[in-house]
Amino acid sequence: MGRRKNQSHPAAGDGQGSDQPPQQATKIRFTDDDGGGQEDGTATGSSNLDEVMCDPDESTTVADMTVDASASASASACEANDSFPDDGDDHQTSADYYFDSYSHFGIHEEMLKDIVRTKTYQNVIYQNKFLFKNKVVLDVGAGTGILSLFCAKAGAQHVYAIECSQMAETAKEIVESNGFSNVITVLKGKVEEIDLPVAKVDIIISEWMGYFLLFENMLNTVLYARDKWLVNDGVVLPDKASLYLTAIEDAEYKEDKIEFWNNVYGFDMSCIKKQAMMEPLVDTVDQNQLVTQCQLLKTMDISKMAPGDASFTAPFKLVAERDDYIHALVAYFDVTFTKCHKLTGFSTGGLDHGLRIGSKQSCTWKMC
């Protein structure tokens, strides 16, 4: 698995509200731009949401959410991993450092120790060997090669593991150490530039999901591989993904992360508050903090969708379930493997969608 995943942190407490509720927000627009608020009161950016008082008899928010996934992670992944020359050039972008991090073992250790996610993939493969027996498999973003190893052990005829970072060299050693050199071929490079030794594959498997499902993800790369190499009746794993949104109360967290800047060792640093509010966070959330119903934003069929479908605007309506403040919006996602004997998948949300195989779940992109 070649993507950095959501890291769980302790959930904040219930917190407290202010004495007087502020004016209720009427519109919130989310884009990938860093612009400020609009004249019509629309907030732009990832998390420009101040404290909102919620009336259970009314809708909390009616808005559009815009997700732009056109700049996929793979677009600069390989350039980034080869972008640390010895001539002293230090003009690196954040993407350069981000992708180079996948050459370090700590990232892969963190992902492999995510038992819910890793065991889901293992169970999908081991418990559905009929899908893999004597089939040619393509592993997109292979990382250490763990998914390729699962597939080989399940009886795949051959597995082609594409990894863009320097971890590809380590993956080759791992494959050799486990006696699968004759079954698994590790290829280093961009999927868009790789010359695959075969014309078609039967299965494409990938752990492509990013934060917020589509942030810094490899979906477009998976779709490229699908359109180029997958046989007509081929299988993409996972093949379904859904993105959800809800709102929570968390005054204590807001006090700790935002109001903290009002007085820092006796100095006023409140000018940082705006930037702090715009920065999305990855954290866990207690289900008792949910103020609104959960809203489905988007469901994607990876086996059929067009690359452009990953960028979308989705209207949403959050309905309050109790009288409380809203301090943050929380997004989470599910992925499912519908080609299995039994519907299998996992969720980064704490709600039971009938897909979980573990109890520790993470909500992603908590926005204060």
Which residues participate in catalysis according to the annotation? 207, 216
User: From the CB of residue 211, how many other CB atoms can be counted at a distance below 10 Å?
Assistant: 20
DSSP notation for 74-116 = GGTHHHHHT---SS------HHHHHHHGGGSHHHHHHHHT-HH
Q: For residue 112, give the nearest of 143, 137, 138 by alpha carbon.
A: 143
What span, in angstroms and rounded, lies between the C-alpha atoms of 146 and 121? 10
Hey, which residues does 63 pair with through a beta bridge?
316
Measured in whole angstroms, the distance separating CA 270 from the mean position of its chain's CA atoms is 31
What span, in angstroms and rounded, lies between the C-alpha atoms of 84 and 61? 46
What span, in angstroms and rounded, lies between the C-alpha atoms of 186 and 99? 19
